[in-house]
Structure formats: structure tokens, C-alpha cells
Chain A
Amino acid sequence: MRPFCVTVPESVEEAVRVLAKWGPEAHVIAGGTDLLVEIKEDRRSPKVLVDISRLDELRQIRVECGVKAEAGAETGRECKRTDEGEGDVVWVGALATHAEVASSPVVRKAAPLLAEACAHVGSPQIRGRGTVGGNISTASPAGDVIPPLFALEASVDVEGPRGVRSVDVESFFVGPKRSALAPGEMVLGVRFRELGPNHVSFFRKLGQRRSLAISVVSVAFAARKVRPDAFDDVRIAFGAVAPTVVRARTVEKALCGKRLDPVMARQISRLAFRDVMPITDIRGSQAYRQEMACNLLYEGLLDLLSGSPAAGARGG
């Protein structure tokens, strides 16, 4: 581990300025739960850490208006829902911790699958420090916050020397641990449209134990229930089974409008084979991961069909 300096900017503009000045020598530090491990293991040796913990505006979780708001815009205005599918937009700041997201009434209502995912990151200590921005910036294919954001078709607000831009979440991840962040850019937060009143969702993860478990496979699911046994607007994403989190478009298409019983649910879940391309590593083999993608989805669908409320992941 090499010595480094820490700067504590008071504004996003200042943070971006420092990042731009130092280029690849500077790293943002939020909760530090990923970065400090990498520094300790000499996988990264930054000269400057930009500690963004004072940027309170990035800690907010808030409801924005029915129309997609401008990236980075401050909104305190009353929001009113327009109609189904045109619901409110929720903004989760990069510095919101997993614990805050998991217990946020806004997120639990608008996107229960995201709250569920955050509730199952690491352990209480990790959830108290680790942030949404850190999770997506690390860009691990096993990052638990990412599949729900895919299923929510979220976008990532980014600010850099050339100003603010919004990147759709699928384009944000370019490879394992590689994101679309340009030098000098940082994540401000994520935004997504809330799920409608007829939408259901779940997040499930399979780890090697019940707490402090990196996902061997994870799945996020959101869809509109059109009958007790049929869905449309299906959006499914898998974690840890491809170089980045991936949407399962084959399965989505097959599920749309189909009337499901357990046998049909099982058959369609097996199509997930087509959407994933896992590798073998110390946590699981390729073959197992592939089957688990199917089975986690199937387990979740079974719960939805049986109306069980416990459609989430285990542990915590």
C-alpha cells in the first residue's frame, strides 16, 4: 500500500475539478468498502482520494415529477402522478447507503426490488457504509444493486468536466469492473420511474452463505400483473452470469402475456440459459451458475404465483 492524499471537496464542482486535475491518479471514495480492499491488496494505488462524504445533496432519495426531470436538477416541488406507466421519477443519490435505501419508504414503495437488493448486500456494517454510487461505479457483474436498476430501466446521472449527462443503465457498464465513466467524471445518482400499482417485482440472490455473501447468481424481476397468472411489461436482469449484469430478453419475451402455471413457469425460466454466459470461478462453476439463473427465476415466479409475500432473497 502506497501513501496517498485525501481531499474533501465541499461541492460537486470542486470534486470534479480535482478529479479532472489528477486524472487516473485520483479516485473517488464514498463508503470505501470496495476501494480500501483494493488499495490494501495493491490492486489500486491512487495518489489522491477524493472523499465525497460531505456532498450531502448526493445523499438524498427523492421523488421527482411525472416527467423525467433534468439530470442534477433540484426539485422540491409537489409531484402528482399522471397515469399508469407515467409514474413519478425517483432519484437516489450516489451517497445513499444500502441501509438507507433498504429502509427508504420512497424506494420500498416505488421499487421494492431495489430495497430488497440493498437489504441483502454484505452485512449490517457494509450496508451502513457502502453506497449505491460505489456499487455501480465498481461495476462488478456481481454488484447487487445493478440488476434491479436494469429491471427498472434506470439511468445514471454523471457529472464531469464537460458538465452533466445521463447514461441509461445498460450502457453504463462496459465490462467487468469497467464503466462508461470518462476520466474526471463522477456519479451523482440514479433515476428511474416508479413501478405502477399493478406491477410486481422481486430480487433474489444465491450466495455461499446467508450473510456477507457475494452473489453467485442474482436475478431482478419487474412486471405488470395483467391477471393473477400472467404478466406484461416484463423486465428481468441477471447478475454474476456474464461480463456485466444482463437483461434476459428471451425470457422476458416468452413470459409476456403467457398464462403461467408452475410447469409453464419452469419451462420459461429454463430459457434463461439463452440469456446468460457465466464463467467458472472459486464461487461456482459455469454449469451450476447457468442452472441457478433459471432456478432462481423459477423460485421467484413460484412465489409470485402463490401470492407469497416473501418473494425476496434470503439472509442479510
Chain B
Amino acid sequence: MDESRWVGARVARIDAEDKVTGRLKFMSDLSFPDMLWGAVLRSAYPHALIKKIDTSKAEAMDGVVAVLTHRDVPGLNGFGIVVPDQPVLCADKVRYMGDAVALVAATTKEGAREALQAIDVEYEPLPVVDDPEEAMLESSPRVHADGNIHHHIKVERGDVDAAFRDAAVVVENTYYTPRQMHAFMETESGVATIDEDGNITVWCGSQHPFRDQLQIARALGMNPRKIQVVSTPAGGAFGGKDEITVQIYLALLALRTGRPVKIVLSREESVVAGMKRHPMKIRMKTAAAADGTLLANEVRVVGDTGAYASLGGPVVNLAIEHSCGVYRMPNVRLEGFCVYTNNGLAGAFRGFGANQVVFALETQIDMIAERLGMDKLEFRRKNALRQGDVAALGHTMTASVGTIATLDAASRCEIWARREELKAMPSAPHKKRGIGIATELHGCGLGVGLPDYGAATIELLPGGRFAVGVSCPEIGQGNTTAFAQMAADSLGCSVGDIVMVSGDSRHTLDSGTSTASRSVYTGGNAIRSAAARMREILADVAAEALGAAREEIAFGRGGVEVRSCPAGAARRLSYREIARIGEGKGRHLKAEGDFIWPVADRGLEGYFGLPHLIYSYITQVALVEVDTLTGEVEVLRAVSIPDPGRAINPAGIEAQSEGGVVMGMGYALMEDTVIEHGITKTPNFSTYIIPTALDAPEIETIIVEEPEPSGPFGAKGIGEAVCVPITPAITNAIHDATGVWITHIPATAERVYMALKEHA
């Protein structure tokens, strides 16, 4: 078995038809009889004490069924993946404009909104903490009682000071990165239903139904088994639905009213209340010897996590882990701070801390190469980690390392190979062209210290198809298609014979999150484990029915056959026939499989999740044209060269790659959630600018495969890496075109123009 018929093929997404026909529903489109509309009263100030909450007027309104405040939270009034420091409903203090103060359920959407306005909240405004560096000072007002530094990490190896002393080149710069928004299609929305026994089902976009189930249970003070969470393949997430969004509000309102309740956040509410990418200020000092050998990196990262922790600590940890990128860096001093402010909320977002530091590092690398007069690609190749090398954090790179392979492919791609020629042909005399390159490695899975596991179920259905259950939700990235391909090859049937069940805490086993570039690797390994058990069960049934020895049973072509039998003889059973036999015997043909992630040879004391064992690798190249009269940057072409270990579905990798390039391009050139004094100035897509189809460059994806032995069919994760190096590839290309170094993204037309002016 395991011959790859489906793995490696460009299989059409299994959810494509339901999506294009509209059969697949957004959670905000679900409706149930007798359903109420829920709404959330958000804070009126970025930082204030709550003196009094009076809901009596709202409760008296026609059509209002329930008004809830902190007094109505039966369990723990808090949530948060790492520390539950975010109140479900604020009791005495609000820390950002998105803080929830009260909930309403009413018979109409408008009625719910109006009731919010009738809730009387008395605040005492506090000074706003909006600068992370200032927030770190002892004298700063405190967002949380324990102080504003939520998390601090420090890693030191080698002799950094000596390395700087002896270096031929030292570059030092400060970088600023924006508060990027996930900009998923569907805002945080969903419906909760409740049955007569008090069992609650929450239908809501989610990246980890089982953890949501626990967080809901903790807030409701309820047995988690009475709570089911169902996610959806529509709507998108990108990390923005990793933390709890509206799940607890929905469950509380359903519990109180005994009726189905729906909440749909408006885009403006989503922008204010929802998660973002951590803005970071990064100071980086990097040294190299005259022959181009990198010697040392000193990094200081300050991440603005906003009002609550969520995954801020781990994000800063991963920023530190990725701050030396793919390079051998014998001497490092790396320090990171995750700081509370009243600036919204930051947490998980595709790339998880790498985007910021890789932008800084890859700019530093280009600067050093330029100072030494070395080719930028060769400089990277010279310093890249190889398998067996010791990485910056001190762990050995034991798994496959794909940097060299992706750099080799980059050196051959058209825009790199013909770069001088392409640069010499701008579309107008006042426009300038440049080509940039950048590369990264990206940790897959949760890392050392955070148990990372997967589980899958396989069941032979009466018609001969297999139901394959993996809980990691499909959130648009195409993992269920990859799961189906791996299951088909593991069972010897076709993708059409696989029915995927995912994102549902009742009908699957917990397989963890769809985050951290982990779901294909985890789910795939769990499926292989379950398939091996399933094959034993099938072999049993078939051997008995065919009167053959178990060892004689071979799998393939949608069934089993007896190996020694000449082809064409009648000693073959299709899966449909086996299902019938099983049914006749009253045997339930179902298997479970599981998988535990391998981890790096050493962890980092006190810092959960560091380091990783398995990384995916990627190099990206961009050709840009800069209009020197306006500062506009047009990305003309991009080449994306990921190493996914093994491409389970090349079309799926290309889709990830193209989406990632455009997301990383938006980060480089346009996107920023501007918050001033705690108030969001870009509350919708009229002012929060993301790239459109017309802004997207021509994108070529070249897949390089360095199989990962521990991965299913050699695969590892790719969902995050694809959006990371493209950002510095673009800013490096701007430098190549104009001579200006970009240290503050997004490189909007205005920023580029002003930098050009200063440079001239």
C-alpha cells in the first residue's frame, strides 16, 4: 500500500462544488426556528474603570429577551489560550475599545442593537497606554495589575561582544512593522443552539473546536461534553479565529434564553474587537567577517500585544526563534518583550512572529552582502544552515533542511537569472525596477514543551466509502482535500470514496489546531496510523470471507484481493462487499489512529514552544517597479519557492503560495490598522487597504521537495511560510531599484516617496 496514486496529484478541492454552488453555508447564514439575535456592547473608552452598569431600560424594551453582564457569567469570567486574562464580560475595568461589557438577545437584529444603546454604563476614564516602549516603564499606568510586561524572553549564546569587536561589517537598524489584519471574508460570527437536555452546540468559525469547547465550558461552569463546537470551511481565519471570538457570548445567550441565538459582527466591530498581527519594534545588530561569514546577531523585539495576552507570549518567543532565520549564527543575544497596551488586541496570525523579524533580518542580510560586495543569493547560500548544523538557539538541525535547494531554484528562476536585463527596461523613464530575494525557515507544529498530537478515525460506510475524521478544521486552506488524498492512498481507494469529517468536536477525536503549519503533517500521520489499523480489520473480514490467510490479502483498486490468485479470478472483494459482510456480522468497521509529534533535541528552559524540530523552507523573489514621482511600488512578478517536504497536492501548494504572496505583499506595501490613542482609525476596507486582484503580481510557484522522513508521505507544513519572505523580497527590491532601504513597513507610496526625497 501507500503507493501514491492520489498523493502528488493535482486533485480538485473536495469542497469546491459546494462552494461554487453556494451549498456550503457561512455560519452567519445559518438559521434555526425561533432564533434570537445577539449583540455585544463594547467599551466606550480604550481604558476606563466601570463604575456602574444599569441594564433595566434595555431589559424593558419590546423584543428584548435577555441582557447579560459579568454577573451572569456562571463560570470563570475570562478566556485566553495561555492565560485567561480577557474577561468574557468586563466587571470593573475596560482595557480596549473592543472589550465586551454586556450582551443582548432580542427577536430582531435591529432590536438587539437598539437595546445596546439603552444600557447605561458609567465609566471613569483612565490614561491611555498606547506606546509599548513607554508602557514598559515603571511609571506607566498599568493595563493589568501585574504590570505591562506580559512576557520577557532572553537567549544568549557565544560571545556576542567579541564577535562585534572582531567583525569586518556591523549593521544596526531599527525596524517597525504594522498591525496587519487577517481580513477574513466572514467576520467573527455564528449561532448557538440548545436542546431540551441543555446540550449546547456552537456553530462558529474556529481553528480548534476542542479548545473552544473547553474555554466555553470553563466560562459556563459546565461539563464540556454537553458542549459541541462545529467550525466551517467558509469564511477564513488566518489565525484570527484561533482564540475565542464570539463562542462564549453565543453559548451564554443560548443557555440563558433556551433559544437559538445568532451573532454576526459588523466589519467595523470586527476590526475594533478582533485579533491582529503584533506590531513590533525590532532593533537588530548583525555582524559578518570580511569573507562574508555571519558572526553575530543581537536582537531586541518589543511586541505590542494590546489589551490581553492571548498568544502574545508564544508569538514573541517565535519571533526570537526566527530572528536568525536560516543562518548559522554562532553568537547571539536575543531578547523579546510582549507588552500590554490599550491598542486593540494582537495574537495569532499566519507567520506567528516570523513575518516581523524575517523582514528585519533579511534586510540586514542584504545590507551586509552589499557592504561586502557579495551576490545576495550567494551570501545567503554561504551562510545557510545545513542538516546537522547547530541553529541559533543551540539545537541541532536533525530534520531535512531545504534552504539550499530553494536558493538553487531561485538562482535559476527567470527574474533572478535575467535580472539585469529586466531591470534595464522600466515602463517609463521616471520609473525604476529592482529585484529582491529573501528566504526563511518556518517552524512547524507547536514546538518543545507543548504536547502536540493528532488523532483520526476511519469508518467503512455501508456503501463502501470511508468516513475519515480529523478534527483540525478546514478553514479554506484545503487540508481536507490533502487528508482525503492521503487516506485514499493509505486505503487503496479513490478520493471520491473518502468522506471527510472535520472541525466538529462531537464527530471527531481531538487532533489539535489548524494553525502552526501543522494540520497536514499531524492529520496525515494520524490518518496513516488509523489506516494501518483499518487495513488489519479489513484483512480480517476479507480473509475469513475468502477463506484465505490474512497475509495473502492485498489492498488496492477500491477493495482487497488474494495475492496469489491469478488476475481476473473471483477472489476479490470490493469495499462495498466488505461493508455488507461486516454489516451482516454486526461488526462495526471502524479504526482510530493517533500520532505524537517528535521534538527537538533540547528545549529552552522556561520558554514553551522553543525550538522546533521540523521547519519548512522557502525562498521568494520579487520584481518591482517604483514610480519615483509618486512613490508607488508595483510588484510586477513574484516567484515563490516553497519546500513542503512533499507536495500532497501541488495545486493546493500553489493556492497557498499565491495567497501567501499577496498577503505578504499587502503587509509590505499597504496594510496597517492605525490606532491612535486607543481609537481605530481604519475601521473598514475603505481605509484598511488590502491588495485587490489588480494589485497582485504574476506569481510563479516552483515546488522544491526535500522529503521529511517523519512526515506523512514526506510532507510538512507550508501554510505560513508562504507569506513571510515575500515581504523583505519586495522591500529589498525597492532598495535594488532606488537605493533606499525600507525599515518601516508598510512601504506605502507616501513613505517610499518621502524616503526617496530624503535619499536624493
CB-CB nearest in chain A for B628: A295
Q: A283-316 CB contact bits vs B (8 Å, 1 = yes)?
A: 1110010011001101100100000000000011
Q: B683-705 CB contact bits vs A (8 Å, 1 = yes)?
A: 00011010111110000000000
Contact B694 A316 (CB under 8 A): yes
* Cα(A216)–Cα(B749), bound, Å: 11
Instruction: Pick from B430, B634, B689: contact of A299, CB below 8 A.
Output: B430
- In the assembled complex, B60 has its CB within 8 A of some CB on chain A: no
- Given contacts A282-B681, A285-B750, whether A210 and B630 have CB atoms under 8 Å apart is no
Contact B674 A282 (CB under 8 A): yes
* Cα(A316)–Cα(B694), bound, Å: 8
- In the assembled complex, B450 has its CB within 8 A of some CB on chain A: no
Closest beta carbon of chain B to A123's beta carbon, Å: 7
Closest beta carbon of chain A to B669's beta carbon, Å: 9
Residues from 630 to 646 in B contacting A, C-beta threshold 8 Å: 630, 632, 634
- In the assembled complex, A82 has its CB within 8 A of some CB on chain B: no
Contact B670 A209 (CB under 8 A): yes
Closest beta carbon of chain A to B756's beta carbon, Å: 11
Where chain A touches its partner, the secondary structure class is: loop
Where chain B touches its partner, the secondary structure class is: loop
Instruction: Pick from A210, A283, A292, A298: contact of B695, CB below 8 A.
Output: A210
Instruction: Pick from B429, B430, B692: contact of A210, CB below 8 A.
Output: B692
Contact A214 B749 (CB under 8 A): no
CB-CB nearest in chain B for A269: B629
Contact A1 B682 (CB under 8 A): no
A-chain residues with CB within 8 Å of residue B695 when the two chains form the complex = 209-211
* Cα(A298)–Cα(B430), bound, Å: 11
Instruction: Pick from B430, B670, B687: contact of A282, CB below 8 A.
Output: B687
* Cα(A123)–Cα(B110), bound, Å: 30
- In the assembled complex, B596 has its CB within 8 A of some CB on chain A: no
B-chain residues with CB within 8 Å of residue A316 when the two chains form the complex = 694
A-chain residues with CB within 8 Å of residue B681 when the two chains form the complex = 282
- Given contacts A282-B681, A285-B750, A299-B430, whether A211 and B687 have CB atoms under 8 Å apart is no
- In the assembled complex, A212 has its CB within 8 A of some CB on chain B: yes
Closest beta carbon of chain A to B82's beta carbon, Å: 34
Q: A195-229 CB contact bits vs B (8 Å, 1 = yes)?
A: 00000000000101111101010000000000000
- Given contacts A291-B753, A316-B694, whether A206 and B670 have CB atoms under 8 Å apart is no
- In the assembled complex, B396 has its CB within 8 A of some CB on chain A: no
Q: B656-690 CB contact bits vs A (8 Å, 1 = yes)?
A: 00000000000000100010000001100011010
Contact A1 B110 (CB under 8 A): yes
* Cα(A282)–Cα(B684), bound, Å: 12
- In the assembled complex, B754 has its CB within 8 A of some CB on chain A: yes
Instruction: Pick from A282, A291, A292: contact of B682, CB below 8 A.
Output: A282
Contact B693 A211 (CB under 8 A): yes
Contact A208 B430 (CB under 8 A): no
CB-CB nearest in chain A for B431: A299
B-chain residues with CB within 8 Å of residue A216 when the two chains form the complex = 749
Contact A212 B692 (CB under 8 A): yes
Contact B692 A288 (CB under 8 A): no
Instruction: Pick from B110, B682, B691: contact of A209, CB below 8 A.
Output: B691
Contact B686 A214 (CB under 8 A): yes
* Cα(A249)–Cα(B591), bound, Å: 81
Contact B629 A209 (CB under 8 A): no
* Cα(A291)–Cα(B750), bound, Å: 10
- Given contacts A208-B689, A208-B749, A209-B689, whether A302 and B430 have CB atoms under 8 Å apart is yes
Q: B608-636 CB contact bits vs A (8 Å, 1 = yes)?
A: 00000000000000000000011010100
Contact A208 B748 (CB under 8 A): yes
Contact A208 B110 (CB under 8 A): no
- Given contacts A209-B689, A210-B695, whether A288 and B750 have CB atoms under 8 Å apart is yes
B-chain residues with CB within 8 Å of residue A291 when the two chains form the complex = 753
CB-CB nearest in chain A for B753: A288
B-chain residues with CB within 8 Å of residue A283 when the two chains form the complex = 687
Instruction: Pick from B629, B689, B692: contact of A298, CB below 8 A.
Output: B629
* Cα(A212)–Cα(B629), bound, Å: 22
A-chain residues with CB within 8 Å of residue B682 when the two chains form the complex = 282
* Cα(A271)–Cα(B118), bound, Å: 55
CB-CB nearest in chain B for A206: B630
* Cα(A282)–Cα(B673), bound, Å: 11
- Given contacts A206-B749, A208-B748, whether A292 and B630 have CB atoms under 8 Å apart is yes
CB-CB nearest in chain A for B687: A282
B-chain residues with CB within 8 Å of residue A315 when the two chains form the complex = 694
Instruction: Pick from A208, A292, A296, A298: contact of B670, CB below 8 A.
Output: A208
Instruction: Pick from B630, B689, B750, B754: contact of A296, CB below 8 A.
Output: B630
Q: Which of A208, A211, A292 has the most CB of B within 10 A?
A: A208
B-chain residues with CB within 8 Å of residue A209 when the two chains form the complex = 670, 689, 691-692, 694-695
A-chain residues with CB within 8 Å of residue B629 when the two chains form the complex = 295-296, 298-299
Contact A295 B630 (CB under 8 A): yes
Closest beta carbon of chain B to A269's beta carbon, Å: 10
Closest beta carbon of chain B to A273's beta carbon, Å: 15
CB-CB nearest in chain B for A262: B429
A-chain residues with CB within 8 Å of residue B687 when the two chains form the complex = 282-283
* Cα(A316)–Cα(B630), bound, Å: 18
* Cα(A284)–Cα(B429), bound, Å: 25
Closest beta carbon of chain B to A40's beta carbon, Å: 9
Closest beta carbon of chain A to B678's beta carbon, Å: 16
A-chain residues with CB within 8 Å of residue B689 when the two chains form the complex = 208-209
Contact A206 B693 (CB under 8 A): no
A-chain residues with CB within 8 Å of residue B691 when the two chains form the complex = 209
Closest beta carbon of chain B to A164's beta carbon, Å: 35
* Cα(A123)–Cα(B689), bound, Å: 14
Residues from 23 to 51 in A contacting B, C-beta threshold 8 Å: none
A-chain residues with CB within 8 Å of residue B694 when the two chains form the complex = 209-211, 315-316
* Cα(A209)–Cα(B26), bound, Å: 29
Closest beta carbon of chain A to B328's beta carbon, Å: 39
* Cα(A208)–Cα(B633), bound, Å: 10
- Given contacts A282-B687, A292-B630, A296-B630, whether A123 and B750 have CB atoms under 8 Å apart is no
CB-CB nearest in chain B for A210: B694
CB-CB nearest in chain A for B113: A1
Q: Which of A209, A211, A285, A315 has the most CB of B within 10 A?
A: A209
Residues from 67 to 124 in A contacting B, C-beta threshold 8 Å: 123
Q: Which of B429, B630, B686, B748 has the most CB of A within 10 A?
A: B630
Contact B670 A284 (CB under 8 A): no
* Cα(A315)–Cα(B629), bound, Å: 17
Contact A211 B692 (CB under 8 A): yes
Closest beta carbon of chain A to B58's beta carbon, Å: 19
Q: A173-185 CB contact bits vs B (8 Å, 1 = yes)?
A: 0000000000000
- Given contacts A282-B674, A282-B687, A288-B754, whether A123 and B749 have CB atoms under 8 Å apart is no
* Cα(A206)–Cα(B750), bound, Å: 11
Closest beta carbon of chain A to B65's beta carbon, Å: 22
CB-CB nearest in chain A for B429: A302
A-chain residues with CB within 8 Å of residue B634 when the two chains form the complex = 210
Q: B104-144 CB contact bits vs A (8 Å, 1 = yes)?
A: 00000010000000000000000000000000000000000
A-chain residues with CB within 8 Å of residue B749 when the two chains form the complex = 206, 208, 216
* Cα(A100)–Cα(B633), bound, Å: 31
* Cα(A315)–Cα(B750), bound, Å: 18
Closest beta carbon of chain A to B482's beta carbon, Å: 32
Interface positions of A (Cβ within 8 A of B)? 1, 123, 206, 208-212, 214, 216, 282-285, 288, 291-292, 295-296, 298-299, 302, 315-316
Could you show 11 A-B contacts with beta carbons less than 8 Å apart?
A208-B749, A209-B670, A210-B634, A210-B692, A211-B693, A212-B692, A282-B674, A284-B750, A292-B753, A302-B428, A316-B694
Nearest 3 Cβ contacts at the A-B interface = A295-B629, A210-B694, A211-B694
Identify 14 new A-B residue pairs, CB closer than 8 A, beyond the known A288-B753, A292-B753. A208-B748, A209-B670, A209-B689, A210-B694, A210-B695, A211-B695, A288-B754, A291-B753, A295-B629, A296-B629, A299-B630, A302-B430, A315-B694, A316-B694
Interface positions of B (Cβ within 8 A of A)? 110, 428-430, 629-630, 632, 634, 670, 674, 681-682, 686-687, 689, 691-695, 748-750, 753-754
